[in-house]
Structure 1
Amino acid sequence: MATKEEESGATDGGYSTPDTAVQEKHGLHDDGAAPEPEYAEGFRLAAVMGTIFLSTLLAALDIGIVATAIPGITDDFHRLDDVGWYGSACFLLVGSSSPMWGKLYKYFSAQLVYLTSVVIFLAGSILAAAAPNSAALIVGRALQGWGCSGTLGGSVLMISYVAEPKKRPMLIGLWMSVFMFSTIIGPLIGGAFTSEVTWRWCFWINLPVGGPVLALVVLFFKVPKHIKPASATWVEILRQLDLPGFTLLLCSLICFILALQWGGQTKPWSDGSVIATLVLWVALTIAFFVVEWIQGEYAMVPLALLKPRLVWTNAMYGWIANLANFQVLFYLPIYFQSIHGQSAIASGVNSLPFMAFFAAGSMLSGFLIGKTRFLQPYEFASGVLATVGAALLYTLDVDSSKARYIGPQVIFGIGIGLGNQVPMTALQSFSKPEHIAPTTGVMLMCNSISGAYFVTAAQSIFANYMLKELASNAPNIDTVRVLTTGASEISHVFQGADLAAVHKAYMVGIKDVIAFSLAGAAFTVLLSLAIPFKKLPDPAAAPTKIEQKDEKNGATEFGV
């Protein structure tokens, strides 16, 4: 049975590296030597990483693949009011269940939990693909999100388990690049399937890929012997899952999404149902934090994990960085499709500079972190470059040339990439083995829930300001028709002066979303200054070092 302090994530004021934590747990031998952690090398490491990348590709594709499939889905089910849920159902479960998966990885075999998450994801894919109605599709998407959450969390966790510390920053950077690549090409694949075959293949395609993933996990996911599940009774594990907290968090997110999907679009902001859902969102969010405080060591978000300044500043940095990142990721293709009349595939191709330089930035920071062991400078540089890139993207207009939208993508992409994987690297590098799983779950929850919040908020900003512009300058245009017309179909539905007015309205909405992104990027610069300026511990020197509590930030100082 794990001790109370271990279960709660308490660390006597600080964190240690996975390697030194192993030494502390087993104790030094008389000759001063400590048990050596086992790490994968050569073919086995390549096989594990290949499996992780393939499963991440599969999971991340389905987060965005439905975006371009929605017109085909609405043609079949005729439920326009359900459109928002086809994407949100997946996002909601990815975010709200991440800490739960972190707890499961802590108490059970990582291989077994990972396999379970993939099976749940595939079950959701089958239900979504064969859905006879809109409700079944939404349930299938929710199951996909639930499984996706465990797969993504397990992927990051396995990297920390099998890769030696000096390789982790680079590998996490590569993993982030695969995730971003998958998110970008998802809508392209969804559009191609919907246009050429049927939208149902957006989900059927997961089965021929998911089968090999299951086999590869069984063959290669062997957790090192120095990583062991924490001991606990079934009752204890059930309490650790914090089902009351999970329920409150999920319900609060649903209320937030409903309010912003209705407000100003299908219902006025003064409508009783909009006000009621906003009030419920606030009340449920407050109730969630109260329950987490009461739950203490059993909370899905253990407050002890967030206490060190190193942790909460990095978690907040990752949260706000997504405010900058997701808006450009989703609305740059909309700009290409609506303003320049490009197809879904062409808009994805024109978004490649962002993706390519995001990957380059992630790999560059991973390489430099491995060499210098510094973290904070890359988060600061990331915020500065992302702010400059977002400011340049804000200058785009209806007649902008290719050079005008490629250059800003390069700057913004490399900026976001430089800092994107740093918070996860920081939290894993300063966590004891028994705390890596819950800490990873909390970090992924921050990333995913911020996506649910900020994407929903951006959609509300875009739609409200676009409709406001239309009401002012083109009151004769049917706003419902504009909202229900796909971005790439605008030039086919509207002509002449009406098309010009719609283009202008779209541009107003897109600019306001980019301004939202710009604010997030600028805020990350300030947040980076609050992050402790610390070096990653040197694994080679760890046996000769002792821990000293850093009373100022709650993290662990290493001194000779």
Structure 2
Amino acid sequence: MERSETASAEEINASTTTSRTSLDVLPKRELNSELYRLDGTPYPPTLRLALIIGGVCLGNLVYALDANIIATAIPAITTQFKSLTDVGWYGSAFLLTSTAFQPSYGKLYKYFDIKWTYIVTLLIFELGSIICALAKNSSTFIAGRAIQGLGSAGILQGALAIIGDCVPLSKRTLFIALVTSIFGVATCFGPILGGVFTDSSLGWRWCFCNLPIGAFTIGASTFCFQPSSRKSGTNLTPWEKLSQLDLPGAVVLLSSVSCLFLVLQWGGNMYAWDSPRIIGLLCGFVLLFIAFMALQFWVGENATVPPRIIRQRSIFGSCLYSFFVACVLYTHTFYLPFYFQSIQGATPTQSGVRGIPYAIFNALGAVISGGVILYIGYYTPFMVLGGIVSAVGSGLIHLLNANSPATQWVGYQVIAGLGTGFGIQIPFTVVQAVLSDEDKPIGNGIGVFFQLLGGAISIAITQSLFTNGLLKYVPEYVPGIPPKMVIMAGAGNLPAVVGGNPILLQGLIMAYAKSISRAFILPIVTAVVMVLVCAIMEHKRRMPTRKEVAAKKASEKVVTGGVPV
């Protein structure tokens, strides 16, 4: 009897202990996923989160500004370095490394600590900025731009990874919209700042003096951000982690993208499109890209772009969407300044100011779509809406001519800016909703890669359309003026081409307007394709709504057995 009572008491104690232990070790995300991360650690409190998000937003701002600020500073740089033949590399060196290393950074963020990987990318970017600011010749400047691009490849991905680690899933859409909207703002304000620095006594080198902002971002990330524990690579040595990065794949991809960028840089400018050099580079790009894809399937799970991720229906569709929305955005932001400067006679700074409506409503569209998705839980409708509004806005911008009043070029920018804003951040929202936490860094890297690739290819295509337009319309509107002379003169020197003759100048402006209108055809086509791509997406709700979050919070106040949380 005594033994029975003792056994019974021991069973009760064991049962109580087990119950308490099971409650203690129960992942806190099951208790309240709005307060706890997957490893059971709490999400950062409001003040710390504000500093973290503020830091990554400033980091993205610096990256986006430096990608665009150089546009109005290039004439002064080429004058100082006497390097007109290198002008294309000032932008291409940045885009080349930034695009090629996007997938590799996805693997880095998966297997290495998010915080320190992000900080290292910022330091690399700042190193490139210092080299550019102190450059004494064109070669050094190009090297600095390449290093900047290498660092920038991990900045946006780092911001998205930090948001995924610091913000509950139900709120990530809005924060992603906030971070990505900064790119639209910087795209238009970058050239303005570049013009202000270049035209002032400070000079173009101040375009790269971003150390104070970078220091704040590094400080906020160092002292405020504490990443959750990772599942991937926890049992791997540093050497084993490096072996997971698929370095051969990264080298082949870099080689392939290099061939593509050389084609885009040289084709139609230094060499004819049908020249042996350009054809050889195109063949090299295609063959190397095929080799890269074959290598990815052969390597499998350790690939730079794991096949199982890109084969996921929504991820594949969102990557295509990211490519085409970038075609619309980059073409508008690149050629609207051409319209303002050549047709309206605006200075570089003035053309940047006139592009503000596009920037503001691009950012506003991203925030609106993020906020509405937060309530309804569906993102596909905004993908469709973004494509439709972008197509309408692009069609209206295509109609701009030399006599268009301000109400038209402002209003048309508002519509097009809203359209691209509605869709620009959704591919990254899809990554957050569809992929596991371990695969999200890779998904972000693939998405950014397609976005940058779309921007680079669209600029090359529109450049060809624009140049061929000048070759066609200059002889028609200004007989006797060699088209190549007009092309070499640049958008800001049209009066000098015709010697100040007002009649000839008016004809030249008409030829320029017709040529720019040809360039604006591409955004119309790609915006329509944006809508068609939405058919690939899975049409079901992926993001939790606020009502669901509130209901879940209420249900999580008490766990099994009535034990209060």
Aligned-residue offset at 1:43: 0.9
Cα distance, 1:207–1:467 mapped onto 2, change above 3 Å: farther
Note the alpha carbon deviations across 1:211-262, whole angstroms, 9 max, x for none. Answer: 2222222122221357776442334322322222222222222222322333
Q: Relative to structure 1, is the Cα distance of residues 178 and 229 closer, same or farther in structure 2, using a 3 angstrom cutoff? A: farther
Counterparts of 2:27 and 2:302 in 1: how far apart (Å)?
35
**1:70 aligns to what?**
74
Shift of 1:376: 0.5
Identify which of 534, 538, 546 aligns with 1:532: 538
Tell me the CA shift for residue 122 of structure 1.
0.7
Structure 1 residue 537 displacement after superposition: 4.5
1:456 aligns with 2:460: yes
Segment of structure 1 superposing worse, 164-173 or 226-235: 226-235
**Structure 2 CA distance for aligned equivalents of residues 194 and 272 of structure 1:** 39
Instruction: Please state whether the residue corresponding to 1:503 is helix, strand or coil.
Output: helix
Q: Could you tell me whether the CA contact under 8 Å between 1:357 and 1:410 is conserved in 2? A: yes
Q: Note closer, same or farther for the CA distance 1:29–1:198 as it changes in structure 2 (3 Å cut).
A: closer
Gaps in structure 1 of 5+ consecutive residues: 1-25, 546-560
- Check whether the contact 1:315–1:443 (CA below 8 A) recurs between aligned residues: yes
Aligned counterpart for 1:521 among listed residues 519, 522, 527: 527
Distance 1:212 1:485, change over 3 A: farther
Q: Is residue 393 from structure 1 mapped to residue 397 from structure 2 by the alignment? A: yes
Task: Indicate whether 1:119 and 2:123 are aligned.
Answer: yes
Q: Distance in 2 between matches of 1:235 and 1:44?
A: 34
Deviates more, 1:285-294 or 1:148-157: 285-294
CA pair 29-437 structure 1, distance change in 2 beyond 3 A: closer
- Aligned-partner Cα distance in 2 for 1:164–1:67: 38
After TM superposition, the structure 1 = structure 2 runs for residues 131-146 of structure 1, keeping only pairs within 5 Å, are 131-146=135-150
AA aligned opposite 1:296: G
Shift of 1:486: 4.0
Q: Is the 8 A contact 1:311 1:427 kept in 2?
A: yes
| Superimposed CA distance per residue, residues 439-481 of structure 1 (whole angstroms, 9 cap, x where no aligned partner) | 1111111112222222222223222322333355546435454
- The CA distance in 1 between the partners of 2:205 and 2:172, in whole Å, is 37
Q: CA 1:419–1:508 in 2, change beyond 3 Å: closer, same or farther?
A: same
For 1:321 and 1:259, the matched residues in 2 are separated by 22
Going from structure 1 to structure 2, the CA distance change for 1:40 and 1:486 (only over 3 Å counts) comes to: farther
Q: Aligned match of 2:361 in 357, 362, 374?
A: 357
2-side partners of 1:27 and 1:444: how far apart? 38
Partners of 2:212 and 2:26 lie apart in 1 by 49
Instruction: Provide the rounded CA distance (Å) in 2 between the counterparts of 1:544 and 1:241.
Output: 43
List aligned pairs for 1:439-454, cutoff 5 A: 439-454=443-458
Instruction: Give 1:237's aligned residue.
Output: 241
**Alignment check: 8 A CA contact 1:380 1:529 kept:** no
Correspondence 1:178 to 2:172: no
**Equivalent of 1:209, from 190, 206, 213?**
213
CA drift of 1:59 comes to 0.8
CA contact (8 A) 2:184 2:360 kept: no
Equivalents in 2 of 1:229, 1:222: separation in Å?
Answer: 18
How is 1:23-34 mapped onto 2 (pairs within 5 angstroms)? none
**Counterpart in 2 of 1:321?**
325
Larger Rg: 2
Taking a change above 3 Å as real, the CA distance of residues 67 and 338 of structure 1, as seen in their structure-2 partners, is same
1:117-175 superposed Cα distances (whole Å, 9 cap, x missing partner) = 01000111111112222121111101101111111110111111101122211111111
The aligned residue for residue 250 of structure 1 is 254
Q: 2:472 & 2:422 partners in 1: Cα distance?
A: 37
Residue 203 of structure 2: which of 198, 219, 231 is its match? 198
Please tell me whether the aligned partners of residues 107 and 231 of structure 1 are also in contact (alpha carbons under 8 angstroms). no
How many angstroms does 1:62 deviate by? Answer: 0.7
Structure-2 separation of matches of 1:286 and 1:474: 46
Structure-2 change in CA distance of 1:51 and 1:528 (3 Å)? same
Q: 1:290 to 1:42 in 2, by over 3 A?
A: same
Q: Does 1:302 align with 2:280?
A: no
Q: Distance in 2 between matches of 1:288 and 1:498?
A: 52
CA distances 1:529-551 after superposition (whole Å, capped 9, x unpaired): 22111112537478999xxxxxx
> Does 2:471 match 1:467?
yes
Instruction: Answer yes or no: is 1:273 the counterpart of 2:277.
Output: yes
Residue type at the aligned position of 1:434: E
Aligned residue for 2:513?
507
CA contact (8 A) 1:341 1:491 kept: no
| Distance of aligned partners of 1:240 and 1:104 in 2 relative to their CA distance in 1, 3 Å threshold | same
Specify the SS of the correspondent of 2:257: helix
Contact 1:473 1:501 in 2 (8 A): yes
Structure 2: stretches of 5+ with no match in the other structure: 1-23, 556-565
Residue of structure 2 equivalent to 1:336: 340
SS in 1 for 2:438: helix
| Higher alpha-carbon deviation: 250-259 or 391-400 | 250-259
Which deviates further from its counterpart, 523-532 or 273-282?
273-282
Query: Structure 2-normalised TM-score?
Result: 0.86
Q: 1:245 to 1:458 in 2, by over 3 A?
A: farther
- State the distance in 2 between where 1:61 and 1:258 align: 24
Shift of 1:28: 6.2
Alignment of 1:374-393 (within 5 A): 374-393=378-397
Distance 1:290 1:505, change over 3 A: farther
Cα pair 1:191 1:344 within 8 Å, conserved? yes
Change (3 A) 1:295 1:226: closer
Q: Write the deviation string for residues 334-362 of structure 1: whole angstroms up to 9, x where unpaired.
A: 11111101112221221111111112211
Say which of 44, 47, 71 aligns to 2:51.
Answer: 47
Question: Is the Cα contact below 8 Å between 1:338 and 1:503 reproduced in 2?
Answer: yes
User: Residues 185 and 33 from structure 1, CA distance in 2 versus in 1: closer, same or farther, beyond 3 angstroms?
Assistant: closer
Check 1:498–1:220 CA distance in 2 against 1; reply closer, same or farther (3 A cut).
Answer: farther
Counterpart Cα distance in 2 of 1:350 and 1:280: 41
Deviates more, 1:144-153 or 1:466-475: 466-475
The residue type equivalent to 2:538 in the other structure is P
Classify 1:493/1:217 alpha carbon distance in 2 versus 1 (closer, same or farther; 3 Å): farther
Distance in 2 (alpha carbons) for counterparts of 1:310 and 1:73: 44
Alpha-carbon distance, 1:42 to partner = 1.5
Decide whether the 8 Å contact of 1:89 with 1:142 is kept in 2.
Answer: yes
Counterpart of 1:198 in structure 2: which amino acid?
G
Query: Bigger relative contact order, structure 1 or 2, given CA contacts below 8 A and separation 6+?
Result: 1
Distance 1:356 1:543, change over 3 A: closer
| Same amino acid, percent of matched pairs | 35
- Which amino acid letter does the alignment assign opposite residue 469 of structure 1? Y
Contact 2:115/2:227 (<8 A) preserved = yes
Shift of 1:33: 5.3
Equivalenced residue count is 519
